[in-house]
Amino acid sequence: MTSDQSNSPYRVLARKYRPSTFDELIGHEAMVKTLSNALEAGRLAHAFILTGTRGIGKTTTARIIARGLNCTGPDGNGGPTVTPCGVCQNCVAIAEDRHQDVLEMDAASRTGVDDIRELIDGVRYLPVAARFKIYIIDEVHMLSKNAFNALLKTLEEPPEHVKFIFATTEIRKIPVTVLSRCQRFDLKRVDGDALAAYFATIAQKEQAEIEGDALALIARAAEGSVRDGLSLLDQAIAHGDGTVTALQVRDMLGLADRTRILDLLGLLMEGNIKDALALLRNQYDSGADPVVIIQDLLELTHWLTSLKVTPEAANNIAMAGGEITRGEELAKKLSMPVLARTWQMLLKGLDEVSHAPMPLAAAEMVLVRLAYVSELPTPNDLARQIADNPKEGSVASATNDGSRPVSAPQGGPAMGHSGGRAAAVAISASPAPQQGTDPRGHLSLVARNDDLPEREPVKVELVPEKQPLQSMEDVVNLLTDRQDIKLKGEVLNFVRPVAFEHGMIEFSPAAGAAADLAARLGRRLREITGDQWDVRMTAQAEGTATVAEKRQSDKAAEIEAMEAHPMVQNIKSLFPNATIREIRHLGPSLDIMLPDDISGEDEIDDGDTFE
């Protein structure tokens, strides 16, 4: 190292190795080809917009374009080119950010309309030394609405000597009127293998020894950003003092605790909450953020799920060999429903921990929930076990796709809630007779013949014969069908029937009934049915229960009867805290005759609905 080099200030790798030509750019071949063809054909746009994530070369590309448009070649006679020489006066001045005709503006700090007016005022003047006057506006989405409007006319019809180059990370925030006037280039994230190869060449130039796995870890952490990757490479070289191993990089990136995260998830899936909380507290005392711990658990759950779907996910550079083996074993033990449930609980827990006044306490509560539900079977498994073993006093072990056996724990508040949900599923699976009929109902279906694709699907609508209203329940159903919500609510809650026959209703009002309820109900029934209706309100006689009261009492009686069902008794023996909150009736199957013009081979699709 020379004395000049030792005395010169250090330049970070992201600046030292910033590309100066399109050949040095990596991962943007499509854009380079488009610009090359445009320059060769003389079809160069007057405005470009470069979009993409941070650190992938938007501003660098804008400067290379500016150099290519103004390059004069080593002899001073060259024209616009995709390969600027780098030695002419224009190339050197642009590379050093001192060219008076290439103006770079940061829209994040100059967002107002006055800044744009100043820019527009300079557009009318010819360039001083360059071929084109070029305006580079970085983070252009930060401009105000008025600033964009002030720029529109100039952007649509700029002078021939002016070129605009915009760069942004938020393309959706830019008005469509601006986008339509620009040639757009989407700069993609750079592939991890390409990044690792690029970092290897940089390390070689810096005379640093770096393991291949270490470079792959840096490339993965960069997430497609060249600048982020070079910053991490700079840090790794300083961390390793010239020799960098994968273990050092894992420690630098915070990946060294993967084993402890695996231990934590394993304890949670075993229901060992005591050791899990101790491990969480140990990590917290070591400086780990509870939010980061939950995020690591989420990432691990996603990786285990990927292992069950695609075994190739085991080739995760962030995991060491022993950790991959442990992960594969854990993935085999856990079923897909359990992993999906764990993901959902962690995802909700992450939001809780992020906004909690005490993040550690919130993280501990998330782990407690995970540990207590880890041994519970999924609702489908529980329903199947109860159906298969209705008289046994315990739930049989079940496995699903190589998952570990699961059993229902005894006692515990969390178990009671889950048991109630599972009970509801099991009860719903048992069909019950439909209570009553609905005079307003109709049936619609679509029939299709797959053997006759040229025929249009035939929609059949069967409307039952008009039936007379026989009770206040029928009146409520009729008003519901006609979407007369207000009147339906009044009839439901305030009408106590005294006498009911076709054409005549007499009722006593419940507390809160409107004085004109009888008149409005009679008028509405005449409009709907076309028949004469005499609706009278009386205070002389006490009517029966309202429809709402009757429905409530019927529901209570039905639940009381269901409580004596053997299956429900079996469930309650397993889950003492389980309660029946709702009973759903599954209607009987319907035998439907189709019209004569539909082929007998036509079938009803599984997705067809019946109303």
Structure token pair of residue 213: 């796995």
Average pLDDT for the chain:
77
CA dist., res. 13 & res. 62, Å (int) = 20
Lowest mean pLDDT among 93-107, 179-193, 565-579: 565-579
Regarding predicted confidence, which is higher, 493 or 430? 493
What dotted CATH number matches 9-186? Answer: 3.40.50.300
At residue 56, the pLDDT reads 87
* Nearest residue to 13 via CA among 206, 245, 200, 207: 206
Q: What pLDDT was estimated at residue 2?
A: 44
What pLDDT does 28 receive?
A: 83
Alpha helices, DSSP H, located in 271-399: 273-285, 290-309, 321-333, 336-355, 359-373, 379-388
For the segment 128-132, the average pLDDT, to the nearest whole number, is 88
Question: How far, in Å, CA of 84 to CA of 210, rounded?
Answer: 33
Stretch 602-609: mean pLDDT: 39
pLDDT tens for 305-326 read 888 887 766 565 455 555 677 7
Q: At residue 410, does pLDDT exceed 80?
A: no
**Any long-range contacts for 104-107 (C-beta under 8 Å, 24+ apart)?**
104/136, 104/137, 104/138, 105/135, 105/136, 105/137, 105/138, 106/138, 106/139, 107/137, 107/138, 107/139, 107/140, 107/141, 107/142, 107/143
| Fold entry, domain 258-373 | Zinc Finger, Delta Prime; domain 3 (1.20.272)
Instruction: Tell me the residue type at 333.
Output: K
Average pLDDT over residues 250-267: 78
Cα four-point dihedral sign 463, 469, 470, 472: positive
- For 401, half-sphere exposure in the C-beta direction (CA atoms, 13 angstrom radius) is 11
Distances from the Cα of 239 to the Cαs of 200, 254, 471, in angstroms? 17, 13, 84
Residue 364 is predicted with a pLDDT of 93
Q: Which CATH class is domain 192-252?
A: mainly alpha
Say yes or no to pLDDT of 465 above 60.
no
Dihedral over Cα of 318, 324, 328, 331: its sign: negative
- ∠ at Cα 567 (566, 571), nearest 5°? 115
Residues 6 or more apart in contact with residue 410 via CB below 8 angstroms: none
Q: Which helix (H) or strand (E) holds 523?
A: helix 517-529
Mean pLDDT on 387-406: 45
**CA distance linking residue 75 with residue 87, whole number of Å:** 10
604 neighbors 447 (Cβ within 8 angstroms): yes
Strands 162-168 and 243-244: unpaired
353 — pLDDT class (breaks 50, 70, 90)? very high
Q: Is the pLDDT of residue 456 over 60?
A: no
1-49: pLDDT as tens digits: 444 455 567 788 888 888 888 888 888 888 888 888 887 777 888 999 9
Q: What kind and span of H or E run contains 420?
A: helix 413-428
Domain ranges, ordered by start, for the chain: 9-186, 192-252, 258-373
pLDDT band at residue 351 under the 50/70/90 scheme? very high
- What share of the chain in percent tops pLDDT 70? 77
Burial (CB count <10 Å: 0-12, 13-18, 19+), residue 4: exposed
Backbone phi, then psi, for 597, in 5-degree steps?
-80, 5
Q: Identify the pLDDT of residue 38.
A: 84
Say whether 514 sits in a helix, a strand or coil: coil
pLDDT band at 349 (very low <50, low <70, confident <90, very high): very high
Residue with tokens 């001083």: 128
Q: Are 262 and 327 in contact (CB under 8 A)?
A: yes
Of 199-208, 240-249, 563-572, where does the model show the most confidence?
A: 199-208
Tally of CB atoms within 10 A around 184: 15
Rounded to whole angstroms, how far apart are CA atoms 153 and 143?
Answer: 16
When pLDDT is cut at 50, 70 and 90, the band that residue 394 belongs to is: very low
Q: How confident is the model at residue 466 (pLDDT cuts 50, 70, 90)?
A: low
| Per-residue pLDDT tens digits for 51-65 | 988 888 888 889 988
pLDDT (tens digit per residue) in 182-208:
999 888 888 888 888 999 999 888 888
* Residue where the block lists tokens 């952490």: 221
How high is the pLDDT of residue 426? 36
pLDDT at 177 over 50: yes
pLDDT at 525 over 90: no
Mean local confidence (pLDDT), 377-392: 66
Grade residue 363 by pLDDT with cuts at 50, 70 and 90: very high
Write down the pLDDT at residue 276: 92
Please give the single-letter amino acid code of residue 39. L
Instruction: Indicate the pLDDT class of residue 347, thresholds 50, 70 and 90.
Output: very high
Mean pLDDT of 501-506: 86
596 in helix, strand or coil?
coil
pLDDT, tens digit, for every residue of 574-600? 888 888 888 877 655 444 444 444 333
Residues 6+ apart with CB under 8 A from 604: 445, 446, 447, 592
Alpha carbon distance 69, 81 (integer Å)? 6
In the prediction, which pLDDT does 352 show?
A: 93
- CA–CA gap between residue 499 and residue 518 (Å, rounded): 13
Picking from 383, 417, 418, the residue whose alpha carbon sits closest to that of residue 398 is 383
DSSP string, 135-195: EEEETGGGS-HHHHHHHHHHHHS--TTEEEEEEES-GGGS-HHHHTTSEEEEPPPPPHHHH
Region of poorest pLDDT, from 67-81, 427-441, 511-525, 529-543: 427-441
Cα angle 34, 76, 21 (rounded to 5 degrees) comes to 35
Whether the Cβ atoms of residue 381 and residue 341 lie closer than 8 Å to each other:
no
- The rounded percent of the chain whose pLDDT value lies above 90 is 12
Residues in a beta bridge with 448: 603
CA proximity to 45, closest of 171, 208, 170, 166: 166
Name the residue with higher pLDDT: 273 or 328: 273
DSSP string, 195-247: HHHHHHHHHHHTT-EE-HHHHHHHHHHHTT-HHHHHHHHHHHHHHHTTEE-HH
